[in-house]
Structure 1
């Protein structure tokens, strides 16, 4: 998942990415694996497709396009028209708005042929709501190579109620959301490392005192504050893998008991800290209206809260800044299969052709390279040792435009100008890695769907102001939040999800 944005969704985004990513196209790792020769019993043989009618595929991706994206897309369409008698139109859901715009798109009935899908876009709950088309049979005919790439474990993680609703990217890694900061500023301030939230606070404080023209944190309206960083640093895991979910398990607790983050020890002190930080202007007072997700890379902010891909992209674009990445989570996990993937909405007008296009993106390097790296000779070149050399980062930065949904370990190229300590950071993440006993748990929200919706609304209304220090008395604000969450049905949710989790663990001993 590469999310070149200042996006740390309230509560769960960083948690989910830390299941993690680093995603969102998370960060690449030398632990990456892919299986292009799976013995998946669900594979089939391609059949001749009727492509006599020319169609335009409607695809939605997350983020914003490169300056030269239309130029690159024109090259894709030249090939696609020849190969499939089709063209593709790419639409974008911006980072600042995707939390609201993405579900509205799926509910709108707009004919969408392909869309990026992930745990952090609520893939599982959307699938159960009927938002996506089951593709296991269609894929046997129109994307057999892609179907064969899916490992048995990845298939299980993507399957919902016995159906395959997406093609997961086969790029697995250890992911973590971390602190992306300017090394030149750290040296200027005499700071050596950022090992925890308090260290990050020292960096923000130094920015306020020494470089007041910069936004210290670089957060935007959809960031949601540092709550997920707090939870991850304490070893908490978002067991429901949905936006705005405060329901956690502690990875240090073998009893696997689900709890409400807002009723946990330490959360009150965290909110008091956020009140202090807000009063010290560690983030903009207009943060709730700020949608500029490129503040850091454009030199307007001193930090970014994101993953290794964002770090790598910023380092490549600004080597003079000595951009550094400091992991945050107590534990890391191999990213889930649906950390990144592509789905076909139920409203698709051309599902067969969409699958054929996705097959090309996943198995034909010429298509993959175009939408991942740009035009060879203009935006990149491949070196003698098979690495990627970016030629025009302003025109088209490698892996910067939601190509994570079809990211391939076979086609991936390591940039020659990656941060020099990238392997060291990857080792740090690998050293923190746990086997995730909950990786295959996909909860059924139907019994508590009304309560989940109500809790979602409460979190957005009452937790966000606490995260930005807007509440004069954070202790009272927390009490109000807990009361509202309980009234919304949190106890019922915990009871139902605990029942499902216990059954899952018993069946998977």
Structure 2
């Protein structure tokens, strides 16, 4: 499936959504750019590397094939004091299984992107590396030919990974039909939901297990607004009307330039000036009803109020188990109410991937190791939790609890390094959580534009101007005395900034992509 290579100069201008799971966040992002000579270079490098290495253990099962190959793997985070102790024990098991040793390099997040760029441009010999649309940019790395095409390696040594994931997921790691990165498995589908403090749900009789439309929440919000003067009814972290109906394209700051109706098989483009109107009116209506805090226009950081549980509801991304996770973090019980409808965006999954460095001297060993970590629960969980009795205690067949003041705990890193669905459950997580998340991913509606990404190279100036307008008008819809006037002014400014030119460029690229995909 053809994809276009995003321009590097857009870094910092084109913001992208992160449901995360990570935490997510939430951000979306996404390629032509490659010349015929560059493409030939990539193919030559990939073909050469795929045949390098010892040439032994071709079935990937491990054997007594001599000295183990060392695979250097870069991830971001905080290195634990007992890191070397765990690696020593873990590598005994990895070597026995596939005759490979892991050299896990953990780099602070603030240094990671620069460190990886320097290592790549200097031709450093490392093997595996975390990449995404928000850290160590996949697009930027592809423009520098920093990653190796791994189709043959994946077919030979990555079958365990392939069998464990939905068919559509691998698409996001492909450029011009070649695979360059393996997406990690975690929460990928996007679903809206509402977290509600259980105390107030019980008090006012809110007992719905799910809702079809955000309007079903309004009677409850009315009760909070009228009867709980010291509380804020809702913390809005997602645009419920927009997200339930549309998929955003060309994200800019807080919104997007264009949208498509999720249920439109022709993916007809809808300008932001049209798509956003109903959302802006809803925001204004909620403010006037008292659902939104009165100082919304001036508040830039509500962290203290969130920690103090001053919000009765939080509107954002839903995932299985988020109620227990949020309750544990907040210190008071919350219930989670999903809003019906799960969706896989065109670029969902790009938020967490692992690639093979084009300068890797051990690409076969790297793919064997990635496949092992992705599929072997024993290896994966020792990598995350450390040594039993020293760093954690088992609390069940598939659950564990870190030892207090443990000097090794990467259990929060599961989504960074493989298949999070193999991770042991932590206290507060319900058995079956990962199965439920996997089911949610597999049953979600998949975008008709799956595999398409936008190259902003021809409209960078316009996108920067649109971002400035977005910033100028951000949150103004809540307090606008005349919402019609506000919308008209905002729309005029967006059009003056070049919105229509961006949409024309987007349509051109979409038409090309559709023709190539036939």
Task: Identify the TM-score tier after normalising by the shorter chain.
Answer: 0.5 to 0.7
Q: Answer yes or no: is 1:13 the counterpart of 2:14.
A: no
**What residue ranges of structure 1 are gaps of 5+ in the alignment?**
1-9, 27-40, 94-100, 220-224
Superposition pairs for residues 110-129 of structure 1, below 5 Å? 111=119, 116-118=130-132, 125-126=139-140
Match of 1:464 in 2: 474
The 1:253–1:55 alpha-carbon spacing in structure 2 relative to 1, beyond 3 Å, is: closer
Match of 1:59 in 2: 75
Match of 1:159 in 2: 174
The 1:278–1:428 alpha-carbon spacing in structure 2 relative to 1, beyond 3 Å, is: farther
Give secondary structure in 1 for the equivalent of 2:419. Answer: coil
The 1:238–1:318 alpha-carbon spacing in structure 2 relative to 1, beyond 3 Å, is: closer
The alpha-carbon deviation at position 22 of structure 1 amounts to: 5.5
Aligned residues: 451
The alpha-carbon deviation at position 258 of structure 1 amounts to: 1.0
Superposition pairs for residues 249-264 of structure 1, below 5 Å? 249-264=260-275
How far apart in 1 are the matches of 2:191 and 2:138?
A: 21
Per chain length, whose mean CA-contact separation is higher, i.e. which structure has more relative contact order (CA < 8 Å, sep 6+)?
1
Give secondary structure in 1 for the equivalent of 2:256. Answer: coil
The alpha-carbon deviation at position 248 of structure 1 amounts to: 0.7
Computed over aligned residues only, the root mean square deviation of the Cα atoms, in angstroms, reads 5.3
Q: Answer yes or no: is 1:273 the counterpart of 2:285.
A: yes
The 1:187–1:492 alpha-carbon spacing in structure 2 relative to 1, beyond 3 Å, is: same
How far apart in 2 are the matches of 1:456 and 1:272?
A: 21
Match of 1:178 in 2: 193
Q: Answer yes or no: is 1:440 the counterpart of 2:451.
A: yes
Match of 1:197 in 2: 214
Q: Which has the larger radius of gyration?
A: 2
Give secondary structure in 1 for the equivalent of 2:300. Answer: helix
The alpha-carbon deviation at position 145 of structure 1 amounts to: 3.7
The alpha-carbon deviation at position 250 of structure 1 amounts to: 0.4
How far apart in 2 are the matches of 1:506 and 1:245?
A: 25
Match of 2:149 in 1: 136
Q: Is the 8 A contact 1:271 1:474 kept in 2?
A: no
Q: Is the 8 A contact 2:385 2:392 kept in 1?
A: yes
Out of 312, 334, 338, which is 1:323 matched to? Answer: 334
Superposition pairs for residues 73-472 of structure 1, below 5 Å? 73=83, 75-78=85-88, 84=101, 86=103, 88-92=105-109, 105=113, 109=117, 111=119, 116-118=130-132, 125-126=139-140, 130=144, 133-136=146-149, 140=153, 145-146=157-158, 149-150=161-162, 153-161=168-176, 164-170=179-185, 174-193=189-208, 195=211, 196-204=213-221, 206-207=223-224, 216-218=233-235, 225-227=237-239, 229-233=240-244, 235-240=245-250, 244-264=255-275, 265-273=277-285, 275-276=287-288, 280-281=292-293, 287-290=299-302, 295=306, 299=309, 301-304=311-314, 305-308=316-319, 311-314=322-325, 317=328, 321-328=332-339, 330-333=341-344, 338-343=349-354, 361-363=373-375, 365-370=377-382, 372-373=384-385, 376-377=388-389, 378-379=391-392, 381=394, 383=396, 386-390=397-401, 401-408=412-419, 411-413=422-424, 418=429, 433-459=444-470, 461-466=471-476, 469=478, 471=480
How far apart in 1 are the matches of 2:419 and 2:395?
A: 17
Q: Is the 8 A contact 1:59 1:115 kept in 2?
A: yes
The 1:133–1:201 alpha-carbon spacing in structure 2 relative to 1, beyond 3 Å, is: farther
How far apart in 1 are the matches of 2:408 and 2:323?
A: 11
More strand by share: 2
The alpha-carbon deviation at position 448 of structure 1 amounts to: 2.7
Give secondary structure in 2 for the equivalent of 1:289. Answer: coil
Give secondary structure in 2 for the equivalent of 1:245. Answer: strand
The alpha-carbon deviation at position 187 of structure 1 amounts to: 0.7
Q: Is the 8 A contact 1:388 1:413 kept in 2?
A: yes
How far apart in 1 are the matches of 2:169 and 2:333?
A: 37
Out of 477, 481, 486, which is 1:477 matched to? Answer: 486
The alpha-carbon deviation at position 288 of structure 1 amounts to: 1.3
Q: Is the 8 A contact 1:169 1:337 kept in 2?
A: no
Q: Is the 8 A contact 2:193 2:336 kept in 1?
A: yes
TM-score (norm 2): 0.65
The alpha-carbon deviation at position 175 of structure 1 amounts to: 3.7
Q: Answer yes or no: is 1:47 the counterpart of 2:57.
A: no
The alpha-carbon deviation at position 325 of structure 1 amounts to: 1.9
Q: Is the 8 A contact 1:118 1:341 kept in 2?
A: yes
How far apart in 2 are the matches of 1:236 and 1:429?
A: 19
TM-score (norm 1): 0.66
Deviations 1:20-68 (A, max 9, x none): x565579xxxxxxxxxxxxxx999577259x99999976335xxx7xxx
The alpha-carbon deviation at position 393 of structure 1 amounts to: 9.5
How far apart in 2 are the matches of 1:453 and 1:500?
A: 19
Moved more, 109-118 or 268-277: 109-118
How far apart in 2 are the matches of 1:336 and 1:242?
A: 15
**What residue ranges of structure 2 are gaps of 5+ in the alignment?**
1-13, 26-45, 56-66, 93-99, 121-125
How far apart in 2 are the matches of 1:231 and 1:256?
A: 16
Give secondary structure in 2 for the equivalent of 1:136. Answer: coil
The alpha-carbon deviation at position 259 of structure 1 amounts to: 1.5
Match of 2:58 in 1: none
Give secondary structure in 2 for the equivalent of 1:326. Answer: strand
How far apart in 1 are the matches of 2:224 and 2:361?
A: 51
How far apart in 1 are the matches of 2:324 and 2:407?
A: 11
